[in-house]
Amino acid sequence: MITCFIRYEIDPFNVPAFERYARTWGEAIPRCGAELIGYFAPHEGSATTAYGVYSIADLAAYEAYRARLKADPLGQENYAFAHAERFIRREDRLFLRRVDAQ
């Protein structure tokens, strides 16, 4: 199992748009095959950093999941929403594996 950490740099004046975006992924991500851990919006400290975190079996499963997400109507709608509203300034993905549990 690997976990994908998505670090977002978002517009601090449009956090509600990011929250809407995150809630939509809350439905689409599990339906498309990943285990959603959660989305996290700014609360204290940095007003521009947010995260999305989910787990998936391996990188091959990730590729299949991404294809399903891209074809999913709700996923397409959410990508279009983010593009139109432009509240995401930057997005980085990091894949980690858990080492403290077996």
DSSP string, 3-38: EEEEEEEE-TT-HHHHHHHHHHHHHHHHHTT-EEEE
CATH number assigned to the domain comprising residue 31: 3.30.70.100
Its domain, for residue 63, covers 2-96
Task: Give me the pLDDT at residue 46, please.
Answer: 87
For residue 102, being part of any structural domain is answered with no
For residue 31, being part of any structural domain is answered with yes
Residues of the chain with pLDDT under 70: 102
For residue 64, being part of any structural domain is answered with yes
Task: Give me the pLDDT at residue 102, please.
Answer: 63
Q: What is the DSSP-derived secondary structure letter of residue 98?
A: -
| Residue count of the chain | 102
| Euclidean distance between CA atoms 36 and 34, whole angstroms | 6
Q: Which residue type is seen at 34?
A: A
Structural domain total, the chain = 1
- pTM for this entry: 0.90
